[in-house]
Amino acid sequence: MPIKSYKMKSFLKFSAFSFLVVLFFGRCEKQESKIYFTGGTPPVLTATEGAEFNYANAAETALTITWTNPDYNFTTGLNSHDVNYNIEIDTAGSNFTNPAKKVITVSKDLSRSFLVSELNDIMLNQLSLQPDATHTLEIRVISSLTSGTETQLISNTVQFIANAYSIPPKVTPPASGTLYITGSATQANWQCGCGESAPEDQTFTQVTPTVYELTTDLIGGGSYLFIPRYGTWNAVPPDPDKYGGIGANNTNNVLGDDFKAKGGDLLAPPESGTYKIVVDFQKGKFTLTKQ
């Protein structure tokens, strides 16, 4: 009996010791498994210009930018995760605060090339700069490992100077020089196509050769179209009979979308009220802003 008691005590001591060992090393392993972000180096951005910037070279490379690896560091060493890069393009002097600035996301790569046509499109249709004029663009790169700002590193800024050239409108504007709105979303409903006169509150004002504006009351949830001539559904070349959505009827973004000649019915916002409508044939886009 004493021998058994001795063995039992020894076993209990050994078990307790084993438990403490496992607990100790388990805690050590947990502590060692924690990884901390310790910083990195902002990318260094350089730019190399290519073909002369003009319409004839539209398909050629105008600019190539490259940047250095930010070398994100962790307690385990250099980062082995994928790095995301946001290329920001804005007008000089805006300090990248322009809501219309162009942002291009690149993963892993350390360079990006731009065609002449791509940069020209960014200047005219993204930044809304005037054609046939010289503009200075500023470009920078922001690297990050997550969607937050904790790991963001901002590069230096480089400039690119170019004379934006005119390009054909994405949608040919009406040769008539007039534009109207019609549909169940308007106060006069759909035009009857019998030669009636256009209501004043459904007649657009031509602001530029490619931009038309109208402020009018719309009925929420109704449909509408833009038409180059009021009182007829017959197309008069070179104008189409109507301008509408690029997809099926009433599938557009109600506050603005792309449009095309002979497109489908457009859906009005769900809330009735007064809206400013801008139809931009250069960009092939329309927008609605509640007044």
> Which residue, of 114, 130, 164, is where some domain finishes?
164
Look at residue 137 and tell me if it is in a domain. yes
Let me know whether 95 and 194 are in one domain: no
The mean pLDDT of the chain is 88
Let me know whether 151 and 216 are in one domain: no
Rg of the Cα atoms in the chain: 31
CATH assignment of the domain containing 83: 2.60.40.10
Distance between CA atoms of residues 209 and 176, nearest Å = 11
Let me know whether 117 and 185 are in one domain: no
Distance between CA atoms of residues 214 and 200, nearest Å = 10
pLDDT band for 102, please (50, 70, 90 cuts): very high
Domain count, the chain: 2
Range with top average pLDDT, 130-134, 147-151, 196-200, 257-261? 257-261
Look at residue 201 and tell me if it is in a domain. yes
Q: Mean of the pLDDT values across residues 99-104?
A: 96
Let me know whether 117 and 231 are in one domain: no
Contact status, residue 242 vs residue 179, Cβ threshold 8 Å: no
Q: What is the pLDDT of residue 21?
A: 46
Let me know whether 50 and 147 are in one domain: yes
Q: What is the pLDDT of residue 39?
A: 77
Let me know whether 130 and 195 are in one domain: no
Look at residue 142 and tell me if it is in a domain. yes
**C-alpha closest to that of 164 among 62, 250, 264:** 62
Look at residue 17 and tell me if it is in a domain. no
pLDDT band for 168, please (50, 70, 90 cuts): confident
Q: What is the pLDDT of residue 32?
A: 54
pLDDT band for 26, please (50, 70, 90 cuts): low
CATH assignment of the domain containing 264: 2.60.40.3620
Let me know whether 147 and 208 are in one domain: no
Which H/E stretch holds residue 38? strand 37-39
Beta-carbon contacts of residue 67 (< 8 Å; ≥ 6 apart): 43, 44, 45, 46, 85, 110, 111, 141, 155
Look at residue 127 and tell me if it is in a domain. yes
Let me know whether 47 and 133 are in one domain: yes
Let me know whether 134 and 189 are in one domain: no
Entry pTM: 0.64
Look at residue 217 and tell me if it is in a domain. yes
Distance between CA atoms of residues 223 and 170, nearest Å = 23
Cα separations in angstroms, 209 against 109, 164, 177, 202, 282: 41, 18, 8, 19, 9
Cα separations in angstroms, 10 against 14, 16, 21, 22, 119: 6, 10, 16, 18, 81
- Residue range 27-44, pLDDT digits in tens: 544 555 566 677 789 999
Residue 7 has pLDDT above 90, yes or no: no
Let me know whether 118 and 64 are in one domain: yes
Q: Mean of the pLDDT values across residues 189-196?
A: 89
Range of the domain at 230: 180-290
Residue 253 has pLDDT above 90, yes or no: yes
Look at residue 4 and tell me if it is in a domain. no
Contact status, residue 121 vs residue 66, Cβ threshold 8 Å: no
Q: What is the pLDDT of residue 148?
A: 64
Look at residue 8 and tell me if it is in a domain. no
Let me know whether 218 and 139 are in one domain: no
- Residue range 46-97, pLDDT digits in tens: 999 999 999 999 999 999 999 999 998 876 666 556 799 999 999 999 999 9
> Which residue, of 132, 164, 196, is where some domain finishes?
164
